[in-house]
Homo-oligomer: A and B are copies of this chain.
Amino acid sequence: MTHPTAAAGVFSFSPGSAVASKLEAFTKLSSDDRAALADVSKNYRFVDARRDLISEGDKPRFVHLVLDGWACRYKQLPDGKRQIVSLFVPGDFCDLNVYILKAMDHSIGAITRLKVAMITPEEMDGLTSQRPRITQGLWWHELVTAAIQREWTLNIGQRTAFERIAHLLVELYLRLKTVGRTHDHGCDFPLTQNDLADATGLTAVHVNRTLQELRKEKLIELDRKQLRILDLDRLMDVAMFNANYLHLDHEGRHLDANA
């Protein structure tokens, strides 16, 4: 069994490896597939931390693919309240097909300095018309993205602050793991407590206290933007975390990469 992708333990990542790793959680890719993904990632730009990649009201023109760094989708209310509705980590596409809409109904902001590919509709068409496995992979990506959004609705609607934050930490840890962005039991975690508050529907003060509880329970360490999961099983347990919504079980592995 050969594993041609950059794997855990490798320190440097070639551009595009995150997407490929991610899609390979669902389906096998051929080297041509991977080359096509790399090709489409060639046109990228950097966005400074805390700047918008695209803002509510803008006309969407590209599909964005996060190559490195973290970003978030957020919506703002007239009374000033802000909700982070999703988070993007390397390998995540922002909005397949958005460019058919007239205007963005939300903004996408960089959490860290961001390296992001700008893919034109034409490039996307090329990808989907010539690479069926990638097309399937993109559909899977869409479905998982939707499932994550639903899980967030559940998270905010039904879980306590403690469970909620625990759940978010597990989700992000697992997502980063599938793109090879974890080391040992830890990962970068660039969200401020304020971001965490906006993502979970809590206040920063309460997030602070809840994180202290998580630390006191010896479930996590979180310091200087570094997260370490001390007891994943127990953390998943208290979060009532059920990984089925991430659909990481290689649904499409029966597809032959060389067909």
Contacts and interface: CB of A to CB of B under 8 A. Distances in A.
Interface of A: 56, 73, 75, 77-79, 81-83, 85-86, 95, 97-98, 100-103, 105-106, 136, 139-140, 142-143, 145-147, 149-154, 156-159, 200-201, 240, 244-245, 247, 249, 251-252
A156 B98 CA distance: 24
Contact of A157 (B100, B200, B244, B252): B200
A156 B159 contact: no
B150 A100 contact: no
30 contacts: A75-B151, A75-B154, A77-B159, A77-B240, A79-B240, A83-B154, A85-B153, A85-B154, A86-B150, A95-B143, A97-B143, A100-B136, A100-B140, A101-B251, A102-B251, A103-B244, A105-B147, A105-B244, A105-B245, A106-B147, A106-B245, A142-B142, A146-B146, A146-B149, A149-B153, A156-B156, A156-B201, A157-B200, A157-B201, A158-B201
Contact of A100 (B75, B102, B153, B252): B252
A140 B100 CA distance: 7
A123 B73 CA distance: 34
Given A75-B154, A106-B150, A101 B143 contact: yes
